[in-house]
Structure 1
Amino acid sequence: MRRWTTVVVLTFAGSTLYAVPASGAATAGDPVAAIQRQLVDGRGVRITQYRTFNSGPASGWERFKPVKGVVGFGDGKVVATDLWDYQVGEAGVRDICIGDRAWEYDPKHKSLPSGKKWVTFKWPCQLRLETGYLRLDRPAVLAAVLATTTTTKASGTYDGSPTTLHEGSITFRQLWNVRPDLRGGSLKDEHGEWRIDWRLWTGKDGLVRRAWSRWREPAGDEWKGVTDGQEWFGYIEDVRYSDWGMKLTVEPPPAAQVIANDKVRR
């Protein structure tokens, strides 16, 4: 599954930004329909993601530095992402993902040839809107999550919008029904009743302004002993969404500034 201490997650993209409202912005309060109406060519959303990780009683919960960036849409899906991950490297790294190609900029990289700023490589880009495993861009997944709502109440203001808090809990088994791709790895059938606690803050237009989830996963055989007897890793993701419908042009870095990863001197 995932370990934030060893994996760099590439999730966002877009390099030229213009904050212009989308002409087809949703007016209904249904989050599933509202988000689907946003997934059109040339539009996107700005995100700030906070991650907290628990590797056992010795370390407890550790909050990582944030990830900030934008997500670009098109043809009913996420098509590209651009982020700064401030947990990685001395000063953070910026990653652009388009399709299965990634470009990374590390301002502290010391071994690139003169004029080269970006390293490119193939990468299974995670082109999605999600908190934890809760996909906001997949109608069936978001609908299944909302079906487990236990609390709905007025809440705070995010991105200038008063919000409604929806709160609940979904099991991995319920999630597997709409996301069969999550089966396997360290999560076995015996973990099907393990729960993901979640919270969504939505505006009057139905758009999610904040998404929070907390869950645990078994450590697996390869990490036995790392958790100090706990036998599981804990995760919390807290993502803020703003500027829904912003005009977004997604482009790779200038070719003259790019070098292939396999040509970088180590």
Structure 2
Amino acid sequence: MRRWIVLAVAALVALAPDAAAAQPAPPDPVQALKRQFRAERGVTFTEVSRMTGDASVTRVRAKGGIQFGASGPVASYMTFSAVQKKGEEPGTEVELIMTPGQLHLSSPDLPPGKKWVVFEPDKGTKVTPVPGLVLSSQTINPLDPAILKAILKGAKVKSVPGGHLYQGAVTYGDLVKAAPEHYAAQFGGDVAGGLAERKISWRLWTDKRGLVTRLMSNRLGGGADTRYSGWGQRMTIPLPPADEVMSWRELLDQPYDEPGFDLGPFRTSR
């Protein structure tokens, strides 16, 4: 009898499907992202980042949204505030709006009637729309299909409640190779020497559709934790009213002693 029980169990095991083989492959996050690139659609995000300096840590809390077009991001907005020490009250909340070739920055220290400063390149200057159109402290931009593909290559993946978790490490050199214009603008040129080989460790979560819901990364000098939500929501990001905007050049031409006006950190740029 015992022999027959053993044979029956062995037969059942042989007939049962391999549990690992039966699990469906996770959706491709790169293709899932590309399907989101539709006019006037977008995604919102929240982010906590930290930057380490000489015996200090600055934490920045941010939130915003990114508007897509047919080939990727076309505009973004973000509000953020920084905290230097634990328990310290956040600093003044600052708003940013980014469109191709323009960055609008809010400030309470502008001449009467003005609320925004616009930064524009000089005429004839080539404008790289990315990374500026994705406002984030993340060195890794998971909203660029080429960058997302690069970091996922060889990454470990496992199923988690609601989707999948990927994790791995990528070098600065690999990122530059995947998106040269993006990182040339971000790093100010070629990544050479030891920086090219430095690694950024990361973890990335996706939902059941393969869309990114969270990215955590640790890099040289800090790290960031970004959460994405509301994929596919209708989104259009308007520019500020023209009469509330002054150019960066106009700002520098303002007299320093004007009542209620302070150039602050820009004073040395004159």
TM-score (structure 1 length as normaliser): 0.70
The answer to whether the 8 Å contact 1:131/1:213 transfers is no
Verify: 1:133 aligned to 2:139, yes or no.
yes
Verify: 1:47 aligned to 2:50, yes or no.
no
Stretches of structure 2 lacking an aligned partner (at least 5 in a row): 1-25, 84-89, 122-126, 257-270
Could you tell me how far 1:186 is from its partner in structure 2? Answer: 8.3
> Match for residue 168 of structure 1?
168
- Number of aligned residues: 210
Describe how 1:152-231 pairs up with structure 2 within 5 A: 152-155=158-161, 162-181=162-181, 182=183, 187-216=191-220
Could you tell me how far 1:246 is from its partner in structure 2? Answer: 1.2
Deviations 1:140-176 (A, max 9, x none): 2211211131342415xxxxxx232111112233323
> Match for residue 19 of structure 1?
none
Question: Cα 1:116–1:132, aligned 2, differ >3 Å: closer, same or farther?
Answer: closer
The answer to whether the 8 Å contact 1:78/1:129 transfers is no
Question: Cα 1:197–1:63, aligned 2, differ >3 Å: closer, same or farther?
Answer: same
Could you tell me how far 1:259 is from its partner in structure 2? Answer: 2.3
The answer to whether the 8 Å contact 2:29/2:212 transfers is yes
Task: Write the distance in 2 (CA, Å) between the matches of 1:188 and 1:203.
Answer: 36
Verify: 1:92 aligned to 2:98, yes or no.
no
> Match for residue 225 of structure 1?
none
> Match for residue 243 of structure 1?
230
Greater Rg by CA: 2
> Match for residue 112 of structure 1?
111
Stretches of structure 1 lacking an aligned partner (at least 5 in a row): 1-27, 156-161, 217-233
> Match for residue 77 of structure 2?
82
Question: Cα 1:178–1:145, aligned 2, differ >3 Å: closer, same or farther?
Answer: same
Question: Cα 1:85–1:139, aligned 2, differ >3 Å: closer, same or farther?
Answer: same
The amino acid that maps onto 2:165 is L
Task: Write the distance in 1 (CA, Å) between the matches of 2:148 and 2:78.
Answer: 24
Task: Write the distance in 1 (CA, Å) between the matches of 2:229 and 2:64.
Answer: 11
> Match for residue 249 of structure 2?
262
Task: Write the distance in 1 (CA, Å) between the matches of 2:117 and 2:206.
Answer: 38
Structure 1 counterpart SS, 2:149: helix
Deviates more, 1:194-203 or 1:166-175: 166-175
Larger % of helix: which?
2
Task: Write the distance in 2 (CA, Å) between the matches of 1:95 and 1:130.
Answer: 11
The answer to whether the 8 Å contact 1:168/1:198 transfers is yes
Deviations 1:87-114 (A, max 9, x none): 29942111111111122222x32x422x
Question: Cα 1:143–1:105, aligned 2, differ >3 Å: closer, same or farther?
Answer: same
> Match for residue 102 of structure 2?
101
The answer to whether the 8 Å contact 1:69/1:82 transfers is yes
Name the Cα RMSD after superposition.
2.6
The answer to whether the 8 Å contact 1:131/1:212 transfers is no
Could you tell me how far 1:263 is from its partner in structure 2? Answer: 2.7
Task: Write the distance in 1 (CA, Å) between the matches of 2:243 and 2:179.
Answer: 40
Structure 1 counterpart SS, 2:231: strand
Larger % of strand: which?
1
Could you tell me how far 1:195 is from its partner in structure 2? Answer: 0.9
